[in-house]
Amino acid sequence: MNAKDIGFMALNHINDILHLMGRDINEYNLIPEKIKPSATIRETNDCQFERNIIVKEEDLLLERKLNTEQRRAYDTVLDRIFSNKSGAFFVDGPGGTGKTFLYRALLAAVRSKGFVALATASSGVAASILPGGRTAHSRFKFPIDIDEQYSCNISKQSALATLIRDAKLIVWDEVSMAKKKVIETFDILLKDLMDTNTLFEGKVVVFGGDFRQTLPVVRSGKKEDFIQESLLYSKIWNQLEKLRLSENMRAKTDPIFCEYLMRIGNGQEKTNSHDKIEIPDCLVIPFISENQSLDLLFRVTYPDLHTCFSDASSITSRVILTTKNDFVDQINDLLIAQFPGDPKTYVAFDETIETNDQSQYEDFLHTLHPAGLPPHKLTLKKNCPIMLLRNLNPCEGLCNGTRLICCDLRKHVISAKIATGDFKNTHVFIPRIPLLSSTDEKLPIPFKRTQFPVRLCFAMTINKAQGQTLNFVGVYLREPVFSHGQLYVALSRAKSSNCVKLLIRPATTDSNDDHSTYNIVYNEIIQKAFP
């Protein structure tokens, strides 16, 4: 390799870094030749990573630990794979029945034999739990908002198309959160890549989820909209083979709590005269005043806030869940103020898409807090927990939903360690990048925010937490849950009744009802999912 080739390789690497920051090296006219687009390089590297995932010894041993139901599902799926037969499955099971355990065993079995197995999920947090996991939108290049006119934008000649064609197994977890149009588009994508008309092009696809949990998000939608967007109301649903898991591992240590969760999930828990369910005293933090009660919730969820930062797992395995992003921001702001250390505040640069609007709306943009964007003012401290909001480099564990611990806060870069998953303790650097607001947010004016793509994650929304099991869960119901399955999701993130506490704010100042709340369950969903 001569000096020119080495120089060209260096420029390609710089281009990769620039692309993470929203720029391209060709803008600078450094050399006459056009440098290969970074996206193509990343896609090729990404596909190479998928083909070379190293299966951990502990995952290979999972097969020996499967219970009877898991073993039946495991054998059924692998039989289809290794006999080259098609299979489209849905693994149904409430929290604690070992769905993730089964997925990991299946992925290990396929990958250990040198085959490609793709692990995806509907949310970043759920994807981060799976080995080699990616969000389905990221893996299959779906836009956030799929409409009727959407068509596949993966070239049949691309490395990604070849990877998908070669996949022996595709796992998609938390599919109950995905809109039916996304699953139908996935079916069309596979048919298009393989030029066939068989469901999912005859591949072995394993969907999983629990329809007692939250449904696809429909902005400003009514009950009927949430129901109709569910996979249950797609023509594909009846074509899926159902594999049911019912043996609850958690029930062995806390059967009463598990039975209580199932009654909540199925909408069978008895209600009082106000149509609310009663929460057992052992789960409730009494409401004294807003500040006092929140302080109690903080202390029980993060009892060693001033010392636990020395152990990343002790802080990332605990979380406070609430219903809305505004409440999440409030809790995160309060907890970062209590967290030890000197604060570092990063101020974003906000700019309108239409440059003529900049002077008129700039101050207004600073006040906006869309769900998918970091705040305009981001205050962090060394050792605080953060969550990544974009897929920066999935091959190195930097995916949307990845949780990290801050190590060093510099002017232009954040040094951090990945806190969970297969890349745990990996040291990474996060750049400041331009981020576009989603068209789905219905913002008064579209804009771009240049900021570090992270948020604090002492607290998160209930919907964001779906798919993970935690050591301790604090639930803050400043307002009651407002959608199907939210209360069930919040409570079922905990392993037992000893690991969860609820703070319920009374509906009015003269009320002292801090022991009951609404539980929203759509019977149409439960009856169709569990006939």
Residue 15 has pLDDT above 80, yes or no: no
The predicted model gives 305-327 an average pLDDT of 80
Q: Are residues 310 and 380 in the same domain?
A: no
The SS3 of residue 336 is helix
pLDDT band, very low/low/confident/very high, at 390 (cuts 50, 70, 90): confident
The beta-strand segments (E) located in 390-531 are 403-409, 413-418, 427-431, 433-436, 447-451, 454-456, 459-461, 472-477, 500-504, 516-517
> In this structure, is the dihedral angle defined by the CA atoms of residues 185, 190, 191 and 197, taken in order, positive or negative?
negative
pLDDT score for 21: 47
Q: Are residues 262 and 360 in the same domain?
A: no
Q: Which residues pair with 137 in a beta bridge?
A: none
* 144: Cβ contacts below 8 Å, ≥ 6 apart: 137, 438, 439, 440
Boundary of a domain, candidates 215, 244, 273: 244
- Other Cβ atoms less than 10 A from the Cβ of 490: the count is 27
Boundary of a domain, candidates 457, 480, 510: 457
Q: Per-residue pLDDT tens for 341-357?
A: 999 999 999 988 888 88
140 in any annotated domain: yes
Q: Residue 290 corresponds to which tokens in the numbers above? A: 């807003």
**CA separation for the pair 481, 462 (Å, rounded):** 9
- Name the packing angle between helices 99-111 and 68-82 (round to 10°): 30
Q: Are residues 315 and 349 in the same domain?
A: no
Domain count for the chain: 4
The predicted model gives 293-300 an average pLDDT of 95
397 in any annotated domain: yes
61 in any annotated domain: no
pLDDT score for 184: 93
- What is the domain-level CATH number for residue 267? 3.40.50
Q: Are residues 452 and 499 in the same domain?
A: no
Q: Are residues 277 and 239 in the same domain?
A: no
pLDDT score for 530: 92
Q: Are residues 104 and 234 in the same domain?
A: yes
pLDDT band, very low/low/confident/very high, at 211 (cuts 50, 70, 90): very high
**CA separation for the pair 484, 462 (Å, rounded):** 12
Q: Are residues 146 and 203 in the same domain?
A: yes
pLDDT band, very low/low/confident/very high, at 279 (cuts 50, 70, 90): very high
- What is the domain-level CATH number for residue 122? 3.40.50.300
The predicted model gives 517-530 an average pLDDT of 96
Q: Are residues 466 and 449 in the same domain?
A: no
**Strands, sheet with 447-451, edge to edge from the N-terminal-most edge strand:** 349-352, 447-451, 433-436
**CA separation for the pair 459, 328 (Å, rounded):** 6
Boundary of a domain, candidates 394, 425, 457: 457
Q: Per-residue pLDDT tens for 34-71?
A: 776 555 555 566 677 788 888 999 999 999 999 999 99
**Strands, sheet with 318-322, edge to edge from the N-terminal-most edge strand:** 284-285, 500-504, 472-477, 318-322, 459-461
384 in any annotated domain: yes
Q: Per-residue pLDDT tens for 478-492?
A: 999 999 999 999 999
54 in any annotated domain: no
53 in any annotated domain: no
Residue 149 has pLDDT above 80, yes or no: no
User: Are the CB atoms for 330 and 291 separated by under 8 Å?
Assistant: no
107 in any annotated domain: yes
User: Are the CB atoms for 322 and 328 separated by under 8 Å?
Assistant: yes
pLDDT band, very low/low/confident/very high, at 152 (cuts 50, 70, 90): low
Q: Are residues 84 and 230 in the same domain?
A: yes
Q: Per-residue pLDDT tens for 82-137?
A: 999 999 999 999 988 999 999 999 999 999 999 999 999 998 888 888 999 988 98
Q: Are residues 151 and 229 in the same domain?
A: yes
Q: Are residues 239 and 260 in the same domain?
A: no
What is the share, in percent, of the chain residues with pLDDT greater than 70? 92
**Average pLDDT, whole number, for the chain?**
88
pLDDT score for 281: 94
Q: Which ranges in 290-436 belong to alpha helices (H)?
A: 290-301, 312-316, 325-338, 358-366
Task: Specify the higher pLDDT residue, 420 or 223.
Answer: 223
> In this structure, is the dihedral angle defined by the CA atoms of residues 5, 9, 12 and 14, taken in order, positive or negative?
negative
pLDDT score for 42: 58
Residues of the domain holding 488: 250-328+459-530
pLDDT band, very low/low/confident/very high, at 393 (cuts 50, 70, 90): confident
Q: Residue 280 corresponds to which tokens in the numbers above? A: 């057992």
pLDDT band, very low/low/confident/very high, at 22 (cuts 50, 70, 90): very low
Q: Are residues 254 and 215 in the same domain?
A: no
117 in any annotated domain: yes
